[in-house]
Chains A and B, each alone.
Chain A
């Protein structure tokens, strides 16, 4: 077996006591700690920021300080650059690269003060006039790259995974099963080619967003942060839009997604937290939870870096150390031997315990735990508390296990929800304002009906020959009496196999689209442990 090139980095280096400056950590029960806490409270009250930063781990792998260039080409494939089959999406993704790079360069060249004005204006201009080709980020942010070269390697390498998975999904040559297999190969290629892959485990976002510098960037630069989170929204939302969709459906769906992105998501400054992948592409996240987690973790690494760079009270040397630490926290190497759904208990209850908490929401292995939430209940702005394992329209359990693909989704107003049946999707869409996108599986896993709803609630699809069953009864059985089929023959076969549906009529898309179901008899609004888990969150002491 070939020895990976990066073995030379495998040696670890010992770094003294590993501290990056500031007061030493002390046992939580000690009297000195009490005095330090008292000082910090007093300092915070006087408007002075604290100076205690988490130390660098004592042993760090050699690669984390490498000075090599390490460019690796895309995994070879006939699908490469097929994102251009959805031209508007391709160009918007090109613009995303520019935005990140411009902001980073200004942050490290003493221009942070103009981030909300001049920099925002420059970025916004590019977002409104996206480039034809993917720009070279390194040329836009040369100072940033020179200073944080390893971070750039992590970003670039994970961005390649982003780009290639999208290319596969946008390919017109690969079949749907081939796409699934190729995405797994891409993951393997990503994960095994370098030592600095981002961890695929769900991470505790409350821990990661609870660092001494957390939220500094979003507080100081809300408009630019809004752009960053808008990019991350798009980079998540595009997956369900592309997954198992025809080229025609992909382009039609991007009319809805792209409009939402340009008109709303880029300019939102009211998000309490970054968009999570499984919030906006729950189907892809259910199929590839490791990839969903890696992208969330990449985006969290972006947030950590933004917050570190925006914290003026941190010295340049400390910033370097904290960015190195952030890379380590999100690296696969830091979590070897750990498993999704588990929480490694640290001896003596370490402050780092949250770092090894890989629990996820019930039914959503592709999303780590978030601030103030429980595995059973998740909170979303404007939506409140919800069980991610249940239908968001009728509260009945969603499809899972081998049937994970059977859940329809509704995408509207920046969110994406899984529901249990086509009726739930249609009626939930009707209850929402603005345009929406419905993704309704048929009896075939690779045949999805994409439906676009306009502002007035009129539904359209480009899928020919699709028929629906809607024999409305209690929602305890909506997974049986509400279904979509790719053909009349498939409908007939299903009805024949289910005698209690004997006599059910096949509905054309037009007939089905005009219907409206009764209010689900099973709906229950979940109640969470608080009204809004982010309401009283103090990110910066």
Chain B
């Protein structure tokens, strides 16, 4: 069970883990709020935001689990922001036989946007997150590197996230490095009459956490709705629809969250 907390955290990161980006506007898409992908937009310079979420997971062959995530973001430089977050959870977790309360890892992240979308070129960003082992049986500092490209598609936007997850403290039967890819889509809903809601969808593929396990394919749909001048409510439903060679996965995951910028 060594380092399982970190591993779970790293896995969750692929699914939409401890990762923030963007301002408190329904059109700005941040990982975890409510799906797993980021758009390529950073927080505005000097903007701050809090993002809070609850998720109810139904992992395969495990009891229901409840997780929370808290995130603070700060646009510390032009086109860049930093984040600090943690994700306590209790109950069933995919790939973890333990059902007790786990504080989870503390995540520190940096996000930088290289360019806006212009002409035919997508917007490109990169983010890096370090997960410090503050949870149960956690060991070593896990990390994730994510490359992000966002591009207009009609009135919607496509977002490609390519992840490289690393876990130096992994046990023998676990992979130290495992990649993942998420293709996300966001589109304002209600134009040209309403201007407060964005619909989201995603398709993800990630390598299984344990050596010998196959890839896990996930899908998700969600919605972000402006509920205040600087606040957004989000709701999402995710499912790992397929996994090969016994890779741990969630049947279903319901995510509800709230973001506010200031």
Contacts of A135 in B (CB 8 A): 195-196
Contacts of A81 in B (CB 8 A): 229-230
Contacts of A68 in B (CB 8 A): 78-79, 113, 115-116
Q: B75: shortest Cβ distance to chain A, in Å?
A: 6
Contact stretch, chosen from B37-45, B236-244, B246-254? B37-45
Q: Smallest CB-CB separation from A150: which chain B residue?
A: B118
Known: A81-B230, A131-B195, A139-B155. A73 touches B75 (CB 8 A): yes
Contacts of A131 in B (CB 8 A): 194-196
Do the beta carbons of A67 and B192 come within 8 Å of each other?
A: no
Q: In the complex the two chains form, what is the Cα distance from A56 to B41 in whole Å?
A: 31
Contacts of B117 in A (CB 8 A): 145-146, 149
Q: B198: shortest Cβ distance to chain A, in Å?
A: 8
Q: Smallest CB-CB separation from A97: which chain B residue?
A: B195
Cβ 8 A contact of A142, one of B41, B42, B155? B155
Q: B72: shortest Cβ distance to chain A, in Å?
A: 15
| Complex interface residues of chain B between 20 and 61 (CB less than 8 A to chain A) | 23, 25-27, 41-47
Do the beta carbons of A125 and B116 come within 8 Å of each other?
A: no
Do the beta carbons of A147 and B119 come within 8 Å of each other?
A: yes
Do the beta carbons of A67 and B195 come within 8 Å of each other?
A: no
Cβ 8 A contact of A134, one of B43, B123, B192, B229? B229
The proximity string for B residues 60-81 relative to A, scoring 1 for CB distances below 8 Å and 0 otherwise, is: 0000000000000001011100
Contacts of B196 in A (CB 8 A): 131-133, 135
Q: B203: shortest Cβ distance to chain A, in Å?
A: 22
Q: In the complex the two chains form, what is the Cα distance from A458 to B205 in whole Å?
A: 72
Contacts of B152 in A (CB 8 A): 142-143, 146
Cβ 8 A contact of B45, one of A73, A122, A143, A147? A73
Contacts of A142 in B (CB 8 A): 152, 155, 157
Contacts of A72 in B (CB 8 A): 44-46, 78
Q: In the complex the two chains form, what is the Cα distance from A359 to B128 in whole Å?
A: 53
Do the beta carbons of A73 and B192 come within 8 Å of each other?
A: no
Q: A294: shortest Cβ distance to chain B, in Å?
A: 21
A500 contacts partner chain B, Cβ-Cβ < 8 Å: no
Q: A227: shortest Cβ distance to chain B, in Å?
A: 14
Known: A125-B192, A139-B155. A76 touches B46 (CB 8 A): yes
Known: A68-B79, A133-B229, A136-B25. A73 touches B44 (CB 8 A): yes
Q: B33: shortest Cβ distance to chain A, in Å?
A: 16
Q: Which residues of B does A touch, CB under 8 Å?
A: 23, 25-27, 41-47, 75, 77-79, 113, 115-119, 121, 123, 152, 155, 157, 188, 191-196, 226, 228-230
Q: Smallest CB-CB separation from B151: which chain A residue?
A: A146
Q: Smallest CB-CB separation from A84: which chain B residue?
A: B229
A71 contacts partner chain B, Cβ-Cβ < 8 Å: yes
Q: In the complex the two chains form, what is the Cα distance from A146 to B123 in whole Å?
A: 10
Contacts of B229 in A (CB 8 A): 81, 84, 133-134
Known: A134-B229, A140-B195, A142-B155. A70 touches B188 (CB 8 A): no
Contacts of A147 in B (CB 8 A): 118-119
| Complex interface residues of chain A between 97 and 141 (CB less than 8 A to chain B) | 98, 102, 122, 125-126, 129, 131-136, 138-140
Do the beta carbons of A146 and B119 come within 8 Å of each other?
A: yes
Nearest 8 Cβ contacts at the A-B interface: A73-B47, A135-B195, A71-B44, A69-B116, A73-B44, A72-B45, A142-B152, A67-B115
A31 contacts partner chain B, Cβ-Cβ < 8 Å: no
Q: In the complex the two chains form, what is the Cα distance from A184 to B230 in whole Å?
A: 25
Q: In the complex the two chains form, what is the Cα distance from A3 to B123 in whole Å?
A: 26
Contacts of B226 in A (CB 8 A): 133
Known: A72-B44, A147-B119. A133 touches B195 (CB 8 A): yes
Do the beta carbons of B116 and A149 come within 8 Å of each other?
A: yes
Q: B214: shortest Cβ distance to chain A, in Å?
A: 38
Contacts of A136 in B (CB 8 A): 25-27, 195
Contacts of B116 in A (CB 8 A): 67-70, 149
Q: Smallest CB-CB separation from A129: which chain B residue?
A: B193
Q: In the complex the two chains form, what is the Cα distance from A132 to B157 in whole Å?
A: 24
Q: Smallest CB-CB separation from A71: which chain B residue?
A: B44
Contacts of B115 in A (CB 8 A): 67-69
Contacts of A140 in B (CB 8 A): 188, 191-192, 195
Contacts of B113 in A (CB 8 A): 68-69
Do the beta carbons of A102 and B195 come within 8 Å of each other?
A: no
Do the beta carbons of A69 and B79 come within 8 Å of each other?
A: yes
Known: A69-B42, A139-B27, A140-B191. A5 touches B119 (CB 8 A): no
Q: A486: shortest Cβ distance to chain B, in Å?
A: 35
Cβ 8 A contact of B78, one of A70, A134, A149? A70
14 other A-B residue contacts (CB within 8 Å) besides A70-B116, A136-B25: A5-B77, A67-B118, A71-B43, A72-B44, A73-B45, A73-B75, A84-B229, A125-B193, A140-B195, A142-B152, A142-B155, A146-B119, A149-B116, A149-B117
Known: A134-B229, A149-B116, A149-B118. A71 touches B195 (CB 8 A): no
Q: B157: shortest Cβ distance to chain A, in Å?
A: 8
The proximity string for A residues 62-104 relative to B, scoring 1 for CB distances below 8 Å and 0 otherwise, is: 0000011111110010000100100000000000001000100
Q: In the complex the two chains form, what is the Cα distance from A139 to B41 in whole Å?
A: 13
Q: In the complex the two chains form, what is the Cα distance from A142 to B117 in whole Å?
A: 9
Do the beta carbons of B195 and A5 come within 8 Å of each other?
A: no
Contacts of A145 in B (CB 8 A): 117
Contacts of A149 in B (CB 8 A): 116-118
Contacts of B157 in A (CB 8 A): 142
Q: Smallest CB-CB separation from B153: which chain A residue?
A: A142
Q: Smallest CB-CB separation from B45: which chain A residue?
A: A72
Contacts of B75 in A (CB 8 A): 71, 73
Q: A163: shortest Cβ distance to chain B, in Å?
A: 11
